[in-house]
Amino acid sequence: MLLQVRNLKCGYGSLEVVHGVSLHVRAGEIVGILGGNGAGKTSLLKSIVGLLPPWGGEIRVSGRPTQREPAWRSISNSVVLVPEGKQIFADMTVRENLLVGGFHNPDRKMDLELVLDRFPRLGERLGQMAGTLSGGEQQMLALGRALMARPKLLLLDEPSMGLAPLIVKEVFEEIQKLRDLGVTVLIVEQNAMATLRIADRVYVLETGEIILAGDSADLLHHPEVKRAYLGKGYKEVWE
Partner 1 sequence: MKVFDPRHEMLPRAELEQLQLERLQSLLVRLKRNVRRYREKIADIRVERVEDLARLPVTTPEDLVESFPYGMFAQPLREVIRLNSLVGPNGRPLVTGHTRHDLAQWGRLGARQLFASGVTVNDVIQICLGGGARQGSSGYVLGAETLGASVIAEDPSHVDYQLAMLQNYRPTVLITTPTNATELIRLLNLRRVDPQSLNLRTILLSRPVDADTRRQLQAGLFAAVQCSFGIGEILDPGLCVECEEGRFHVNEDQFLVEALDGELVVTTLCREAVPLLRYRTQVNCEARREKCACGRTGIVLIPGSRRDRRLRVNEAPLYEHQIAEVLQQTSAAGHSFQLEVLERGIVVRLEMTEDLMHDTVWPIINLQRELASEFYARLGIEAEIVFVERPPRVS
Query: CB-hemisphere CA count at 13 Å for 210?
Result: 18
CB 33 within 8 A of CB 195: no
Q: Return the range that interacts with partner 1 (CB under 8 A); candidates 129-137, 154-162, 168-176, 220-228.
A: 220-228
Task: By CB under 8 A, name the one of 10, 17, 18, 23 that touches partner 1.
Answer: 23
Task: By CB under 8 A, name the one of 6, 121, 152, 197 that touches partner 1.
Answer: 6
Task: By CB under 8 A, name the one of 113, 124, 173, 218 that touches partner 1.
Answer: 218
Task: By CB under 8 A, name the one of 11, 16, 24, 96 that touches partner 1.
Answer: 24
CB 4 within 8 A of CB 60: yes
Site string for partner 1, 168-197 (x = CB under 8 A): ------------------------------
Task: By CB under 8 A, name the one of 210, 216, 225, 228 that touches partner 1.
Answer: 210
Task: By CB under 8 A, name the one of 11, 20, 135, 162 that touches partner 1.
Answer: 20
State the nearest-atom distance from the C-beta of 151 to partner 1, in Å.
Answer: 22
164 binds partner 1 (CB under 8 A): no
107 binds partner 1 (CB under 8 A): no
230 binds partner 1 (CB under 8 A): no
Nearer to partner 1, 169 or 222 (CB): 222
Q: Return the range that interacts with partner 1 (CB under 8 A); candidates 33-41, 133-141, 172-180, 228-236.
A: 228-236
CB 196 within 8 A of CB 210: no
SS3 annotation, 130-185: HHHCCHHHHHHHHHHHHHCCCCCEEEEECCCCCCCHHHHHHHHHHHHHHHHHCCEE
Q: What is the C-alpha separation between 183 and 106, in angstroms, rounded?
A: 19
| 8, containing H or E segment | strand 3-12
State the nearest-atom distance from the C-beta of 172 to partner 1, in Å.
Answer: 24
CB 50 within 8 A of CB 73: yes
Q: Which residues of 55-87 are buried (b: 16+ CB within 10 A; e: fewer)?
A: eebebbbeeeebbebeeeebbebbbbbbbbebe
| 204, containing H or E segment | strand 201-206
128 binds partner 1 (CB under 8 A): no
237 binds partner 1 (CB under 8 A): yes
The dihedrals phi and psi of 80, each to the nearest 5 degrees, come to: -125, 135
Which residues are near partner 1 by CB under 8 A? 1, 4, 6-7, 20-24, 26, 203, 209-214, 218, 222-224, 233-234, 236-239
